[in-house]
Amino acid sequence: MLVVKNLKCEYLENPIGIDKINPRLSWQIISDKRNVKQQQFQIQVATDEEFKNIVWNMHTFSEKSIHIPYEGAPLESRMRYFYRVKVWINKEEESDWSNTCFWEMGLINTSEWKAEWISLKDQKINEDFKARAPFSCFKNFTINKDVKKAVVYVTSLGVYELYLNGKRVGEDYLTPGWTDYNYRIQYQTYEVSDLIKAKDNKLNATIGEGWYSGYLGWTKRKDTYGSKNALLLQMYIYYEDGTSEVIASDESWKEENCNILMSDIYNGEIYDAREKEEASIDSNLIIVPYPKTHLIAQENEPIRIQEEIEPLSIFKTPKGEFVLDMGQNMAGFVRFKIRGEKGQKVTLIHGEVLDKEGNFYRDNIRDAAQKVTYICSGNEEEIYEPHFTFQGFRYVKLEGFPKDIKPSNFTGVVLHSDMKPIGSFETSDKKINQLQHNILWGQKGNFIDVPTDCPQRDERLGWTGDAQIFARTACFNMNAAPFFSKWLKDLSCNQMSDGAVPFVVPDILKGTFADGIGLTTAGWGDAAVICPWTIYQCYGDENILIQQYDSMKNWINYIRNQGNDEYLWDTGLQLADWLALDNEEGSFFGATDGYLVSTAYYAYSTGIFANIAKILGKFDDYKLYNQLYASIKEAYINRFYDNEGNLTSETQTAQVISLYFDLVPEKYKERIAKRLVELIEKKNMHLDTGFLGTPYICHVLSDNGYEDVAYKLLFNTDYPSWLYQVERGATTMWEHWDSIKVDGSFWDIGMNSFNHYSYGSVGAWMYQNIGGIDMAEAGYKKSQIAPKLSEKLSYTKAALDTMYGKISVSWEIIEDKINMNVVIPHNTTSRITLPKVKNIEKIKKYIIEAYNEKRLHIDLTNGLSETYIDTDFGFEIFGDNISFEIGSGSYNFSYEYTPI
């Protein structure tokens, strides 16, 4: 059996509306054999499903099966291309053609936009919120011929919803998504052939403020990109007779009534469901002279409904308020059913937690009203959900609802970018599983088109530091490649002329944060290098390195130009180990020397960049930046170590990042690792790290022989620790280790989010060390399977859907044996490490004999299990671990182990 499956074009199955001129194709190989390696492949691309009109036929000897760029005849706008793939593996075994898949081009050139931006002459203002009311507009058109196909390309300045003949077009929310509209505005493409009716048709849209002109940031900033919301739409109708027609937004469109009186990302929505008197009103529509030159096709997966949650309960608080409990801190909105009197007003106010007394609490949400008001139409049963807003919440204060309203009248609708879930992680420990759950929900709540710090207060911004810290974990849970690829383009657009990377992307702060003391900071700006590198490593995507190359280089050159010493970054504002606990109570800043942190990041990013230059074959840059890297490292060592080899910052984070970024001279390594453990001991075996130290603390402990300490930190349940939050009932990650303090009080209202993914960055370590899955060559072309055992865990199951297929690892301790099952996808290899092998010499002998005799099966425990090794397996033993390389397939290892 040999089948080519899971064909993807630009990470997507049969996408439409692609504007890349060399879209990349990927596939996976399914076979019941082991050790499967692709040796040749053939791709055919045609404009017809029968492959009569072939525009690209490529047959080559190559192992590559991911991201193969289309290189045939130039692709035409709006054309659908069909493709299929076949492969040859091992000794000339040939597959059949795969199923036929397709992609369809969008509008490749912006000059193809004939439509006009349309808006209202005077948008109504909602006085309560000082916000523009959304408006609706429509166009009636008649069809006289048989329609073969209809496709609409649509976008807005603001956010829009589109309907054709009363049916919602597409399943996407908050379109066109958030990019820096000064540079890039995405349009969406929808096939609407099924919604078109014979004869009379009506297309209508509602446009709201969204990120374009709505509130953004904590200073009540508005109109960031403009002050006029507008729609741009171009629909192509293709008839059976070969002719076609275009319906476009223009002066012929008319305004119509809109029931939404206010809708704002932070503030919520006001909806008056009562029928307005006239169906159509005097048109107030105008054409807006806004350029169409920076329109681009949708780049990442749009925001969609991901799941729906049934609430746990409705209860009355000590204050006498009625509160709905979703049971989960989430981002999205509440949909509800109600039977109300005409004009009855119901209100939903969203918050994340209850206070110490059990009352509804929303002070930490600051100035984001998160309030949804609905005025009933008085019709039988009404079902409502808000349109251009989302809330971050677990609890909802209900006002004006009938006393007997039931939880079943409400549904929590979870929204986020429609990224494919690719990872799973489960252990025998319930609390660790809850932590994984909280990390995942931190991601769900904050991957809403842009990687945000939090989804609830008047912030929800693309903080670069948070994104950088969490990127590796994010890439385990979901396929985050298109998501980051889009966001990183905005990062490049927003980079300042000297290469500085802003604090947030899209950059709405524009130098206003930190009162002009600083425009950037280490660890945050380094997202420019770390995020593309992470995406490359996890998905083998070289394009992102090419795309971001100049941005990365500019960032490093920016740092180099700071201060007097080109090898240190010791100037300017450094947020450094943000929110660490090693400074005085209540401080936002950690105690680690900010310039140690900035220079460490400078070295780290420069080292990565040199590596990238090498990968892309830019050898001059490689030489230059590799040299720069060596000089920074030297300068770091000279400046931040004393004569005895101690770091000048006596903090956990200083030891952690020095070790993780490889800035410790070999001779001091043991000492620094030991010092870290002493600092942990000093805190009674607890961490006190902030944003920058936390992601790596467990990594450096387990990499330097302190696996037990890493596990100790992970399993701690008292403050401060990951499981302290779990014990306190958290369902997402908190911004502070003490968002809720031991005495039940809250951290200051000024900055206290209960859905902030940064500390969830331990998730990568959990996948890599407990599950044992890691990348050894970009895209997991080669993986590393090396679970680390803890006496607290009796089993773990982890899996990751890579570009090549699923890697899975499960291990279980049964009495004195370990039983481990591993699946390695075809066309990849893996280096496996069996931990805690008891009779290492015996096992070694078995494996070597089996290898020498080219035996396919070896018995590791006298008949208890079998495994299979016939590659050049690079055998190694260190301590009681045994490691070797294997090809693709499923394996079972069972052996006696040394208890921990």
List active site positions: 459, 735
Q: Which of 150, 262, 575, 799 binds ligand RAM (CB under 6 A)?
A: 575
Binding flag, residue 459, ligand RAM (CB under 6 A): yes
d(C-alpha 479, C-alpha 36), whole Å: 24
Q: Which stretch binds ligand RAM (CB under 6 A): 222-230, 460-468, 619-627, 634-642?
A: 460-468
Binding flag, residue 463, ligand RAM (CB under 6 A): yes
Q: Which of 176, 159, 732 is nearest to 486 (CA)?
A: 176
Residues in region 735-754 near ligand RAM by CB under 6 A: 751
Q: Which stretch binds ligand RAM (CB under 6 A): 41-49, 262-270, 439-447, 461-469?
A: 461-469
Q: Which is nearer to ligand RAM, 386 or 465 (CB)?
A: 465
Q: Which of 78, 149, 80 is nearest to 108 (CA)?
A: 78
Q: Which of 131, 25, 134, 126 is nearest to 85 (CA)?
A: 25
Residues in region 786-845 near ligand RAM by CB under 6 A: none
Q: Which is nearer to ligand RAM, 740 or 793 (CB)?
A: 740
Give me the least distance between CB of 447 and ligand RAM, in Å please.
15
Give me the least distance between CB of 577 and ligand RAM, in Å please.
11
Give me the least distance between CB of 453 and ligand RAM, in Å please.
4
**Residue nearest to ligand RAM as judged by C-beta position:** 453
C-alpha distances in Å from residue 287, one per residue of 122, 123, 540? 12, 13, 45
Token pair, residue 757, equals 């993914």
Q: Which of 881, 799, 779 is nearest to 832 (CA)?
A: 881
Give me the least distance between CB of 756 and ligand RAM, in Å please.
6
Q: Compute how many residues bind ligand RAM; rule: CB under 6 A.
A: 9
Q: Which is nearer to ligand RAM, 266 or 895 (CB)?
A: 266
Q: Which is nearer to ligand RAM, 218 or 539 (CB)?
A: 218
d(C-alpha 266, C-alpha 392), whole Å: 10
Residue 476 main-chain phi, psi, to 5 deg: -80, -40
d(C-alpha 316, C-alpha 326), whole Å: 15
Give me the least distance between CB of 758 and ligand RAM, in Å please.
6
Token pair, residue 114, equals 């004939």
Burial 278-317 (b: 16+ CB within 10 A, else e): eeeeeeebbebebebeebbbbbbbbbbbbeebebeebeeb
Binding flag, residue 445, ligand RAM (CB under 6 A): no
Q: Which stretch binds ligand RAM (CB under 6 A): 65-73, 462-470, 726-734, 799-807?
A: 462-470
Q: Which is nearer to ligand RAM, 762 or 818 (CB)?
A: 762
Please state the separation of Cα 574 from the chain's center in Å.
26
Burial 841-877 (b: 16+ CB within 10 A, else e): eebbebbeebbeeeeeebebbeeebebbbebebeeee
Q: Which of 351, 455, 462, 465 binds ligand RAM (CB under 6 A)?
A: 465
Give me the least distance between CB of 454 and ligand RAM, in Å please.
6
Q: Which is nearer to ligand RAM, 442 or 607 (CB)?
A: 442
d(C-alpha 557, C-alpha 562), whole Å: 9
Q: Which is nearer to ligand RAM, 465 or 889 (CB)?
A: 465
Instruction: Calculate the CA dihedral of residues 357, 362, 366, 369 and round it to 10 degrees.
Output: -160
Q: Which is nearer to ligand RAM, 174 or 454 (CB)?
A: 454
Phi-psi region of 725 (alpha: psi -120 to 50; beta: other; left: phi over 0): alpha
Q: Which is nearer to ligand RAM, 291 or 750 (CB)?
A: 750
Helix (H/G/I), strand (E/B), else coil: 783:
strand
Give me the least distance between CB of 753 and ligand RAM, in Å please.
6
Q: Which stretch binds ligand RAM (CB under 6 A): 39-47, 458-466, 742-750, 870-878?
A: 458-466
Binding flag, residue 450, ligand RAM (CB under 6 A): no
Q: What is the 3-state secondary structure (H, E, C) of 195-226?
A: CCCCEEEEEEEEEECHHHHCCECCCCECCCCC
Q: Which is nearer to ligand RAM, 140 or 219 (CB)?
A: 219
Give me the least distance between CB of 575 and ligand RAM, in Å please.
5
Give me the least distance between CB of 309 and ligand RAM, in Å please.
25
Q: Which is nearer to ligand RAM, 453 or 490 (CB)?
A: 453
Q: Which of 190, 212, 484, 578 binds ligand RAM (CB under 6 A)?
A: 578
d(C-alpha 486, C-alpha 474), whole Å: 15
Token pair, residue 614, equals 């090498």
Give me the least distance between CB of 502 and ligand RAM, in Å please.
12
Give me the least distance between CB of 368 and ligand RAM, in Å please.
13
- Whether the link from the prior residue into 176 is cis, omega within 30° of 0, is yes
Name the DSSP class of 837: B
Binding flag, residue 301, ligand RAM (CB under 6 A): no
C-alpha distances in Å from residue 601, one per residue of 194, 468, 888? 53, 12, 37
Beta strands at 268-272 and 371-375: parallel, antiparallel or unpaired: parallel
Q: What is the 3-state secondary structure (H, E, C) of 320-367?
A: CCEEEEEEEEEEEEEEEEECCCCCCEEEEEEECEECCCCCEECHHHCC
Give me the least distance between CB of 354 and ligand RAM, in Å please.
22
Q: Which is nearer to ligand RAM, 434 or 753 (CB)?
A: 753
Nearby residues of 847 by Cβ (< 8 Å), 6 or more positions away:
858, 869, 873, 875, 882, 884
CA 233, 238, 239, 241 torsion: positive or negative? positive
d(C-alpha 395, C-alpha 239), whole Å: 51
Please state the separation of Cα 475 from the chain's center in Å.
7
Give me the least distance between CB of 695 and ligand RAM, in Å please.
13
Q: Which of 104, 209, 355, 466 binds ligand RAM (CB under 6 A)?
A: 466
Binding flag, residue 453, ligand RAM (CB under 6 A): yes
Q: Which is nearer to ligand RAM, 118 or 508 (CB)?
A: 508
Q: What is the longest distance spanned by two Cα atoms in the chain?
A: 88
Detail the DSSP E strand segments found in 835-888: 876-878, 881-886
Count CA atoms within 13 Å of residue 659 on its CB side: 29
Nearby residues of 863 by Cβ (< 8 Å), 6 or more positions away:
none
Query: Is 207 within 8 Å of 134 (Cβ atoms)?
Result: yes
Binding mask 375-404 for ligand RAM (x = CB under 6 A): ------------------------------
Residues in region 751-770 near ligand RAM by CB under 6 A: 751
Q: Which stretch binds ligand RAM (CB under 6 A): 229-237, 363-371, 396-404, 451-459?
A: 451-459
Binding flag, residue 161, ligand RAM (CB under 6 A): no
Residues that bind ligand RAM (CB under 6 A): 453-454, 459, 463, 465-466, 575, 578, 751
